[in-house]
A and B are shown apart, each in its own frame.
Chain A
């Protein structure tokens, strides 16, 4: 079993106007096989948490620690974090012109495994993962995220998660911009990965609707860069009914 431990994490975002503090002391422990939902209104710092974990250069950790099975994640470069088993499904996946999905996925798999995947298994696994996500086969020869619809981009993120088998996956608003069918397909992909690999999931979302498909074990509510309430799945149900108003009022 693996554990991702976030302790008193403070993060600033670098803007043209200087560094702006966003996270003000986040504590969280995520184990294999667990699914934690991070919920909060816009601007609460959810995506900052995701990018800081992945090591985006725009986000600066000013204090606190993140460890994966005791290893200091914050000391690792972006690619080392991925090799250590962290995966970030991005809210806004980046277009990479001229680099095909096939080439990209194979390069990533090779980097993470330390050797090129066996061609036969790889082709078979990729094909079945694509079928499961109802992705058109011609998708493989398209350039990464170029001209993809919002739904295709999100499916592509989950496809990568399934192919790369991380220990922990951070899903940053994977539900945003998806219609009901796409949401179900993407959620099934996440659940397949959970069944297949014991991946621990940090599910970042504004809304509760994705939690109908991906059941969280724990729910954390973030307001203004701090966790203000934690609980089980019932907390999500309460948020569904009440929204974030009571937290926002308390935080004023």
Chain B
């Protein structure tokens, strides 16, 4: 069930630092809209032990925020937006926050921005929403995306600028719907971004959730999926590039609570520079009722220089044997000198050869994104990361 194949010739296999012994079942973790249910994290908690908790105190404080993001973008026909209350959002069936930062964000967000698509509606083209930082003041945000039965939509949220942002994003995917949600972190170097993205996936519905984290000082995003009925499909893709001093943390949790569903998680990251840090935690819980499900998680990290560190921890809890498949692969390794030699032996200069190999490493994810509207941005930003590389 465990695939540790090694197409890059990566020479280390990491399951994180130390043996992973969850304190209890994954679903034993608190879920609530009440801030009081979540003590302020100390950094010893399972869900916070990889995070720079000392620097996150402001995000745990149950206090109002004064900052704002500048939000713009034309919405295609069929995609509507309105501001609603938290109680109205809860009535839409959103999942509860799962950590202190998310519950504070949900309660302290001034309003809930609700994007909705009615049933039986195919929204043409991707909606590109720019959510740009406007400064150092803390921002709490809560976004709900609800998509009616048999509808189709692609929503991209592009984050740029300077911000200290904590958000809850709640996706409600109707039966038979097809939703792609992309969160692009192209922040300035000093920005911080904590987020919980929750999705509840309907009967035979399809969710593609994509995070691309390139900019920012600290980015910590949790993507959680649960199914409201049988037959849902979830594909979670992630791409990150950590430079010196950056902390990029991504956590995924697939709660297989229904039958015949599938989930596929693929996160790939490159790291370069002193104290470049990435964390990937991939939790999958296969409950007794999750008959016939199929799940796979993959995380690969490419360490380009000394002084960078990647943690990669897949956790699989299986409570029924009657499934189609469950597996994971995780690897963290250095740049392969044989790749470099082969390309250079054909005349390709070293810097170009390194860029080709890193681009190649990311291609597996990029090829699956398939949102043409962000291809140029994504290519430019990755080129930019590579050209700034200290290779």
Contact = CB atoms under 8 A, between A and B. Distances in A.
Interface residues of A, number: 31
Interface stretch (A22-30, A102-110, A210-218, A241-249): A102-110
Contact of B346 (A55, A95, A111): A111
A112 B339 CA distance: 18
A99 B347 CA distance: 16
A67 interface: no
Interface string B330-346: 00000001110111111
Interface string A87-116: 110100111111100011001100110000
A98 B360 contact: yes
Interface string A175-203: 00000000000000000000000000000
Q: What DSSP secondary structure best describes chain B's contact surface?
A: helix
B371 interface: no
B363 interface: yes
B343 A104 contact: yes
A93 B346 CA distance: 12
A127 interface: no
Contacts of A239: none
A96 B357 contact: yes
Contacts of B342: 90, 93-94, 96, 144
Interface string A49-71: 00000111100000000000000
Interface stretch (A1-9, A76-84, A129-137, A222-230): A76-84
A33 interface: no
Given A88-B345, A104-B356, A146-B7, A77 B364 contact: no
A56 B361 contact: no
A34 B212 CA distance: 54
B359 interface: yes
Interface hub of A54, A93, A103, A107 (most chain B Cβ within 10 A): A107
B344 A96 contact: no
Interface string B15-29: 000000000000000
21 contacts: A56-B341, A79-B349, A82-B345, A82-B346, A82-B347, A88-B345, A90-B342, A94-B341, A96-B343, A96-B356, A97-B361, A97-B363, A98-B360, A98-B364, A99-B363, A103-B356, A104-B346, A107-B346, A111-B348, A143-B360, A164-B347
Interface of A: 54-57, 77-79, 81-83, 87-88, 90, 93-99, 103-104, 107-108, 111-112, 143-144, 146, 160, 164
